[in-house]
Amino acid sequence: MPGPKKLGPTQAGPNAPAPTKRGPTQAGARKAGPAEPAPRKPGRKRTGSPDAGPAKGAAPPAPARRNRSTEEVRAQILEAAAHLFAQQAPPTVTLRQIAARADVQHSLIIRHFGSKAGLVRAVVDRTAGAYAESVLRGDDAADGFVQAMRHLLENPVASAAFVNAQRSADQPRAVQRSYPGATLHRQLLTDAAGPQSRDPRVVAAVGLTLAAGWAMLEGWARVAFDLEAMPIDELRNEVAAMLRDLIERGADLGPATPPSAARRR
Domains of the chain: 122-263 (1.10.357)
- Distance (Å, rounded) from C-alpha 205 to C-alpha 188? 13
97-132 pLDDT, tens digit each: 999 999 999 899 999 999 998 998 899 899 999 999
**Residue 133 pLDDT more than 60?**
yes
9-29 pLDDT, tens digit each: 545 555 555 555 555 444 444
CA angle 149, 166, 122 (to 5 degrees): 90
User: What is residue 202's predicted lDDT score, i.e. its pLDDT?
Assistant: 96
Residue 239's pLDDT band (cuts 50, 70, 90): very high
* Mean confidence (pLDDT) of the chain: 80
User: What is residue 68's predicted lDDT score, i.e. its pLDDT?
Assistant: 73
Whose CA is closest to 208, among 156, 149, 257? 149
More confident residue, 82 or 5: 82
- Distance (Å, rounded) from C-alpha 18 to C-alpha 56? 71
Residue 35's pLDDT band (cuts 50, 70, 90): low
More confident residue, 255 or 254: 254
Segment 147-170 shows an average pLDDT of: 86
Distances (CA, A) of 230 to 154, 224, 250: 19, 13, 29
The neighbour count for residue 261, using CB atoms within 10 Å, is: 11
More confident residue, 175 or 156: 156
In the chain, the amino acid numbered 264 is R
- Distance (Å, rounded) from C-alpha 248 to C-alpha 213? 19
